[in-house]
Structure 1
Amino acid sequence: MSSVKNFGRDTIIYGIAVIISAFLGAFSVSIYTRIFAAKDYGEYNLVLSTSLFITTLFSQWIQQSIQRYRPEYKKSGKINEFNTNLYILTIVTVFIIIVLSFLASFFKDKLGAYNNYYWSSVCLILAQFIFLILGSLLQSDFKSKSYKNFILINSIFKFVLSVLLIFLFYKHPISVIYGTVLAQLVLIIPMIRSTEILSNVTSNFCFDDFWFFVKKFILYGFPMIGWFLGNSILNLTDRYMLAILRSSKEVGIYSANFSIVSASLGLLTTPLLSAAHPIIMNGAYDRNNKIDVPKVKHLISSFSKIYLLITLPLFIFVFLFHKEIATIFLGEEYRKGSIIIPILFFGILVWNVSMFGHKGFEVYEKTKVMLLFILFSAVINIALNYLLIPIYGYNGASIATMFSMISYSLLVYIFSYKFIKWELDFKSLIKIIFSGLVAGFFVYLLKDFVKGYIVQLISGAILGLLIYTLILLLIKEIDYKTVKKWIINRLKNNY
């Protein structure tokens, strides 16, 4: 019961940050696509994606290991030892990044048009690395309010600083990268204080304990590097192959429309995923420190259902209004790519639900299996991109991405029975789809009677939500008494 309460609380807290962050993200894309040409925006997006890819290489194995092992160290009263070893590991990794960056700089002239982005990318990688590690500590410790505040402030600073640099200093996409770096650097010291990692660092350093700590992180986290690299390949391959097989302009159009998908879907799904992960990982063990299979199985199924309940009607809405959405948020040069919005949306929707489904693999530390699945999906992505991009351009890239993401989810679902079976309530799923389609039908009819893109979106969203919720109540997919009780409890807690 406490897990459900934590989930609801943390989802709301994360949601506040994500909603504002998503709005700022969509608004910034709207500004950038009206300032920069598609070619320049495409080059910037390739640089940004590559920087994220490299950051993933250095950070994700540590992030995932923090979520996995920090609760254990807490329960055994060894949190000071954990903080000490993590602090040293972070310092060593930062040093390695700096050394490798200086060595690689001797070859940066070979980057051609991307040469000017080199040092800004290095700064971005370093800032992101530290920011992500500290953020993982806050999440693992259930400091959701602090995490929300830092994410929110970072989004605001990033937007404001980037726009100021663009209009006051250099009207070029590189200013956006420097704005992002400055925003994260400003928050690092407050984040360190919030995590209290330095106050709990001991002076009694033991190399053997540190090496044992690092090996544990490597054994668990390194396969996760492969998984996240595979995930990055799924997000990078389409852009790189578009640049090679078509042009940077098409990369810009594709990336801008992709950003709308990320912002809109992330608006609702990121809070769920962010809140669910520490709850599952912290609640995976019983009092005897053994895996509580029934509990984890129930949590995974429950979170999956909540996710689909929210995202499936959102997909129908995006399918109906993709042209209007692109017209509002993108510059004229980018709007012709709006057809890829629902295609990518569906692919990412299915992909994200598997983030709940594969928690059983994580709990059993079967990250190597997850790695094989993601590599298989990456191969499918590369093959389909190679076949479809020369013919269909960015439309082909979106189709390739969608099918590769679906393939991962299918593999997780099929093979999850070996560890903790990922069960989906198909009866509920059918009811959700039915309710969404009926609501979508009435929203589609409304479009003919309402003029103006913004008015269409707002009225369509309100009408669709009301009809969707009403049908769910009528077919008893949502229990009225439970909803009423929850609302009353919320009101009592607030007043």
Structure 2
Amino acid sequence: MIKIFFKHSFIYALGTVFTRGIAIFLVPIYTRYLSPSEYGVIDFFLIIAAIINLTIALEISQSIARFYQEAHDKEDKVSYTSTAFWFTFVVYFFYFCISWSFSDSLSQLLLDSKEYQMIFIWASLAIATNGIFYFTQNQLRWQIQPKDSVIVSIVNVMVVATVAIYLLVIMKLKVESIFIAQILGNTIGSLQSIYYAKSNYKFIFDFVKLKEMLVFSSPLVLSGVGVFIAMYIDRIAIKELLGLNELGIYGVAFRFAAVASLVMIGFQSSLMPLVYKYYKEAETLQSVSKIFNMFCLFALFVVAASIIFSKEVLVLFTTEAFYGASSLIALLVMATFFSNMYIFAPGIGIAKKTKLTAMITISTAILNTILNYTLIPVFGLSGAAYATLMSAIIGFLLYAVLAYKYYPIPYKIKNILIAFATVLISAYAMVYKFDEITFGTIGVKIIYMLVISVVISFLLVERKYMEKFIRI
């Protein structure tokens, strides 16, 4: 399993490096052609997209992840996939029709102005097409087709980048250019994903299987709402308490914090399908533990880099209006890691205890909400970042403790904690000592990154597994 995991993880990570690289390349373009408040509008619609995609399709794609591998034959797999797809398509079709019909009143309600009506319509169509793209691309993951999934991601981001730059720079459009680009990218990506998995898409709709899948996934809607609140309550609170300008600055910090997904996506995309396939095998427990140690190695490297290079990154890629985001990036990187590390506690999913998942995420969401509305008035944007990080850590600990009961993975907790403390203390000490941006300080920071990589490697990874990873 470990060899298959690293192979698939490398493929996903390679694709993510490219796609996230394009996304980071777009940030300086967006920040030069859009004001912080306009950037805040885009970020606000991303929040709306998140809650829509987490709820209206009742998380049926997660049912495919659980039932596809255990389907008895090819006919069952086709039936599960096709039923879930047509359900998803119809749900998003009606969502867009309703949004279009009430666009004037909804734009007034959400953005305090009917001037945003056309932007609201474009954004609603982008959200609908994104929901369908999310399902079709995930299907490639559940079928364990990592190369096809990565190709689809690359095509999607290239279309979005090309169209967005053309409309923004050449045609002089503003916020709507981003949503039009997303619509085209999502549509092409969905068609390509369906083509790669065409043997599983038929004009079939099985109400019995739909009921079976929804019984599993519908509790995850509550979980999804909890995830949404945990992920986006900071931005909702910022918009309400501080305004769109501050939301735009925070949104830029969050874009750069998304570098965490360069590490996360490879593990997240390849681990869960393999765990569901091999969890009954005795060696899987040890394999997941070793994979987690390897994940911690890469995650801590990214955390260290985000702490000591955040200011340099903002100076290089943005304008002075966004420099205030420098103190936020590392906190949001850590929050991103912790909020997604539930994949290393698969016991709840294996036991099909989705109601327990909902309880954890809702509890975490409530905590995050309380912390944000408590800390933002006192500490501003930093309060939002600290609130998000603290609730993410507590949420992961709840997952780890409760999942252990159903699938006891033997983690090396002591070594992980020592490595984490070493990175935080040394990295923040470097920032305090070498705060100015010069060639000399950059050189010192690069040397530090090399040294800290060696230190945490010795703490977390057995030599034979590091050599095996390098060979793979």
Fold match, TM over 0.5? yes
- Summarize deviations over 1:79-114 as a string: whole Å, max 9, x none: 233344234323432343244334543633533334
Q: Say whether the 8 Å CA contact 2:18–2:154 is kept in structure 1.
A: yes
Q: Say whether the 8 Å CA contact 1:18–1:266 is kept in structure 2.
A: yes
Structure 1 residues 121 and 24, CA gap change in structure 2 (3 angstroms): same
Equivalence for 2:28: 30
Q: How does 1:249-264 map to 2 (within 5 A)?
A: 249-262=245-258, 264=259
Q: Say whether the 8 Å CA contact 1:439–1:467 is kept in structure 2.
A: no
Q: How does 1:320-339 map to 2 (within 5 A)?
A: 320-339=308-327
1:186 shift after superposition:
2.1
The aligned amino acid for 1:270 is I
The aligned amino acid for 1:169 is M
Q: How does 1:277-426 map to 2 (within 5 A)?
A: 277-284=272-279, 286=280, 294-357=282-345, 359-426=346-413
The aligned amino acid for 2:412 is D
Structure 1 residues 119 and 459, CA gap change in structure 2 (3 angstroms): farther
Q: How does 1:181-192 map to 2 (within 5 A)?
A: 181-192=183-194
The aligned amino acid for 2:106 is K
1:448 shift after superposition:
8.4
Determine the C-alpha separation between the residues in 1 that align with 2:222 and 2:380. Answer: 28
Aligned pairs, how many?
468
| 3-state SS in 1 of match to 2:70 | helix
Equivalence for 1:289: none
Q: Say whether the 8 Å CA contact 2:63–2:213 is kept in structure 1.
A: yes
Give the percent of matched residue pairs that are identical in Structure 1 and Structure 2. Answer: 21
Equivalence for 1:39: 37
Determine the C-alpha separation between the residues in 1 that align with 2:83 and 2:165. Answer: 39
Match of 1:466 among 450, 453, 461: 450
The aligned amino acid for 2:163 is L
Determine the C-alpha separation between the residues in 1 that align with 2:123 and 2:360. Answer: 30
- Summarize deviations over 1:301-329 as a string: whole Å, max 9, x none: 23322211111132122212222222222
Q: How does 1:52-451 map to 2 (within 5 A)?
A: 52-59=50-57, 61-73=59-71, 75=73, 78-105=76-103, 107-108=105-106, 110-111=108-109, 112-113=112-113, 114-197=116-199, 201=202, 210-262=206-258, 264-284=259-279, 286=280, 294-357=282-345, 359-430=346-417, 432-433=419-420, 436=423, 440=427, 451=438
Q: Say whether the 8 Å CA contact 1:350–1:405 is kept in structure 2.
A: yes
- Summarize deviations over 1:223-254 as a string: whole Å, max 9, x none: 11221221111222111211111211011111
1:361 shift after superposition:
0.6
Structure 1 residues 480 and 83, CA gap change in structure 2 (3 angstroms): closer
Determine the C-alpha separation between the residues in 1 that align with 2:463 and 2:433. Answer: 27
- Summarize deviations over 1:309-367 as a string: whole Å, max 9, x none: 1111321222122222222222210111211112222222222223322x111111111
Determine the C-alpha separation between the residues in 2 that align with 1:450 and 1:83. Answer: 53
| 3-state SS in 2 of match to 1:78 | helix
| 3-state SS in 1 of match to 2:59 | helix
Could you tell me the TM-score, scaled by structure 2's length? 0.90
In structure 2, runs of 5+ residues without a counterpart are: none
1:34 shift after superposition:
2.2
In structure 1, runs of 5+ residues without a counterpart are: 287-291, 491-495
Q: Say whether the 8 Å CA contact 1:121–1:177 is kept in structure 2.
A: yes
Structure 1 residues 86 and 350, CA gap change in structure 2 (3 angstroms): closer
Q: Say whether the 8 Å CA contact 2:64–2:81 is kept in structure 1.
A: no
Determine the C-alpha separation between the residues in 1 that align with 2:59 and 2:43. Answer: 24
1:277 shift after superposition:
1.4
Q: Say whether the 8 Å CA contact 1:47–1:117 is kept in structure 2.
A: no
Q: Which moved more, 1:235-244 or 1:245-254?
A: 235-244
Determine the C-alpha separation between the residues in 1 that align with 2:459 and 2:246. Answer: 46
Structure 1 residues 482 and 344, CA gap change in structure 2 (3 angstroms): closer
1:214 shift after superposition:
1.2
The aligned amino acid for 1:138 is L
Structure 1 residues 412 and 153, CA gap change in structure 2 (3 angstroms): same
Determine the C-alpha separation between the residues in 2 that align with 1:371 and 1:472. Answer: 34
Could you tell me the TM-score, scaled by structure 1's length? 0.86
RMSD: 2.8
Determine the C-alpha separation between the residues in 1 that align with 2:366 and 2:417. Answer: 32
1:422 shift after superposition:
4.8
Equivalence for 1:493: none
Determine the C-alpha separation between the residues in 1 that align with 2:24 and 2:190. Answer: 25
1:444 shift after superposition:
6.3
Q: Which moved more, 1:299-308 or 1:175-184?
A: 299-308
The aligned amino acid for 1:336 is G
